[in-house]
Amino acid sequence: MDITFNIGGMAGQGIDTIGDLLTKVFVRNGLYTFTVKDFESRIRGGYNFTQIRVSDRPVHCPVDDIHVIVALSKDAITGKRDQLVADGVIIYDDRLDFEPSEQCHFPAPLSKTAKSVGGSTRMTNAAALGALLSVVGFPFDLAKEVLSDIFSAKGSDVVERNIRVAQALYDFTAERFTGSCRTLLRDLRPGKATARLVVTGNQAVAFGAMAANAKWVAAYPMSPSTGAFVEIVSHARELGIGVLQTEDEIAALAMAIGASYGGVRSFVSTSGGGFSLMVEALGLAGMTETPVVIYNAQRPGPSTGLPTRTEQSDLLFTLFASQGEFPRVVFAPRDPVDAFEAVVRAFNLADRFQVPAIVLGDQYLADSAMNIEGLDVPGVTIDRGKLYDGSQDQYQRYLLTEDGISPRAFPGDPGVVVVSSGNAHLENGHITEDPSLRDAMVEKFIKKIPAIRESLREPDLYGPDNPELTIVSWGTTWGAIREAVTILNEKEDRTIAHLHFTDIYPLRTGRLEEMFASSERVVSVEQNATSQFAHLVTMETGHTFDGHINKFDGRPMTPRWVMDRVREVIA
């Protein structure tokens, strides 16, 4: 059983605050939530909304059906009306110039009560929380606790006024509202109240970098990745992390490469436009075999594109960015827990193979939030790879080895001189144009690729053997596709499998080969226009897909959207 809430209004009206309050109330009652935000690229104004899905089981994606809308602007009253369920309700501020014309309309004195009871219209979000909880018949006591936590830093007077405002709207709604939404919560089976974490993808990425012992973090702020950088900055002093907002993205990666060359784990966050500027420095990391981790939170392009929307359109660019040929590792996590683990593994593999590692997120991952049991920080292991042990008579940074990995020393280590260059170089790091040595160094790069591939995880396979259809996907589309496949198999008697990749490159092809052999049809589902991952699969395996399902309007997939397209494919 799910219930979905939609908080809509203009930027600057406290939509996020209402969403945060509501999420905390339900999580403290033992329920699961998934929150996704939709907002325009402007500081104030425009129609924005936050959707909160509440369930008694873990949920991983937004949905189309909405049960309760809280509208703080006229646009919000009508913006999602077509998605409101039959017995749903639209609670809107009665100060708006809007005459109720449907049974679902419920005008409430949100801002008026905030002003008269709390002394400020800034407490409209507390009023909205009270009205919303009353409509669905939820006890008010937990709202008191949450309001106390949220506003405690502002003093007891602010806390008490917010509670009074919320209580006033709770009581007003209890007296005036006659709709059927009060029954919405009866089928939910709340679990035991727990201390589950509510985290966004950006926060999980940041936690992964900190758990992996990143000690230098640089970034030039760029939506939607900025939240990860800000999260690390907020903990930098206590964890001894060097952080710097650089003058541009070129400087951010160049500084991170320098820090890594000096011996510390380094991390850079950006989006596609910023990654475009980093390409030359990425080549420097490749040539000098300097590990570094880059987080690219994708958004629609080209150029500025849709800066606050989501897309998976940087994949092929990421795989082949920079001139020349050198190995790299690419991950695309599916949710916050996966993001935490992927970032930790990115640091370990970057160090082990002395290559750049790239974590591909997107706006959907970056800004959506879900509650989880926790992150396994104590279980994190640190692998710094092959470090110099003093066994060479004269240290050579690029010593040719069987596995292509040279022992790594750092400037300042006793008894060694570390020489490195962005040019083709000898084993000792000095520049050369000798063709045989050029061959040897390129072959050294290439030797790493099979071992990197074997270090990556196989894709996640779900569904029946010998299916009529296999869906292949990657990254954050996982939640909507997995739910869609489950519904189609259980309720429509289909036999559909789902093969999903987090570890993208070098591509593991074993399960792909099995699925192409056992499935009647194989279809890719991607959040881009050109089926980029499908092209990668074809390039690596020679197999072609029987169809492609693509979404590239900047909005995330929902299970219904996926099901509708799959039905078209299998019709």
CB burial readout 300-322, b (16+ within 10 A) else e: bbeeebbbbbbbbbbbebbbebb
Is residue 540 one of the residues assigned to a domain? yes
In a domain, 490, yes or no: yes
Is 321 a member of any domain?
Answer: yes
Q: Give the predicted TM-score (pTM) of the model.
A: 0.95
User: How much is the average pLDDT of 236-255?
Assistant: 98
pLDDT at 46: 81
- Give the end of a domain, one of 395, 427, 456: 456
Could you tell me the CA-to-CA distances from 112 to 82, 96, 97, 163, 421 in Å, in that order?
28, 11, 14, 15, 67
468 and 449 in one domain?
Answer: no
279 shares its domain with 330: yes
Q: What is the pLDDT of residue 504?
A: 98
Q: Are 207 and 377 in contact (CB under 8 A)?
A: yes
Q: Is the pLDDT assigned to residue 37 strictly greater than 70? A: yes
Instruction: Tell me whether residue 379 is in a domain.
Output: no
User: What average pLDDT does this structure show over 206-233?
Assistant: 98
Task: Verify that 546 and 446 share a domain, yes or no.
Answer: no
Amino acid in the structure at residue 2: D
315, part of any domain: yes
Query: In sequence order, what E strands does 56-159 have?
Result: 66-71, 84-93, 105-108
Instruction: Verify that 36 and 173 share a domain, yes or no.
Output: yes
Q: Could you count the other beta carbons within 10 Å of the beta carbon of residue 132?
A: 29
Which of 330, 263, 273, 341 minimizes the C-alpha distance to 305?
A: 273
Same domain membership, residue 473 and residue 426: no
Alpha carbons 92 and 83: distance in angstroms, whole number: 16
d(C-alpha 224, C-alpha 221), whole Å: 9
Whole-angstrom distance, CA of residue 41 vs CA of residue 74: 19
The pLDDT value recorded for residue 32 is: 92
Please list the alpha-helical segments (H only) found in 400-525. Answer: 435-455, 478-491, 510-518
**349, 372, 395 - which closes a domain:** 372
User: 96, exposed or middle or buried, with CB in 10 Å at 0-12, 13-18, 19+?
Assistant: middle
Name the CA dihedral angle for 477, 448, 435, 320, rounded to a multiple of 10 degrees: 0
Answer whether residue 564 shows pLDDT above 90.
Answer: yes
What's the rounded Cα separation, in Å, for the pair 558 and 564?
10
Does residue 308 lie in a domain region?
A: yes
> Please, are residues 39 and 7 in contact by the beta-carbon 8 Å criterion?
no
Average pLDDT over residues 456-483: 97
Beta-carbon contacts of residue 542 (< 8 Å; ≥ 6 apart)? none
Residue 183 pLDDT > 60: no
Q: How confident is the model at residue 138 (pLDDT cuts 50, 70, 90)?
A: confident
The answer to whether residues 214 and 81 belong to one domain is no
The lowest-confidence range among 64-78, 174-188, 425-439 is 174-188
How far is 423 from 431, CA to CA, in rounded Å? 6
Pairing of strands 32-38, 45-55: antiparallel
Q: What is the pLDDT of residue 63?
A: 97
Q: Determine how many CB atoms are found less than 10 A away from the CB of residue 68.
A: 26
Give the total number of structural domains in the chain.
4
Whether residue 380 is contained in a domain is answered as no
Q: Identify whether residues 471 and 351 lie together within a single domain.
A: no
What's the order of all strands across the beta sheet hosting 522-526?
Answer: 460-462, 496-501, 469-474, 522-526, 547-550
User: Scanning the structure block, which residue is given the tokens 């189309």?
Assistant: 64
Last residue of one domain, picked from the residues 346, 372, 398? 372
The beta-strand segments (E) located in 77-188 are 84-93, 105-108
Residue 150 has pLDDT above 90, yes or no: no
Segments forming the whole domain that contains residue 432 = 386-456
> Has residue 381 been placed in a domain?
no
Q: Which pLDDT does position 563 carry in this prediction? A: 98
Contact by Cβ (8 Å): 138, 190: no
Least confident of 123-127, 151-155, 518-522, 551-555: 151-155
Share of the chain above pLDDT 90, in %: 84
Examine the pLDDT at 178 and tell me if it is beyond 90.
Answer: no
- Identify whether residues 85 and 141 lie together within a single domain: yes
- Non-local (6+) Cβ contacts of 436 within 8 A are none
Residues 6+ apart with CB under 8 A from 298: 271, 272, 310, 311, 312, 313, 314, 360, 361, 362, 363
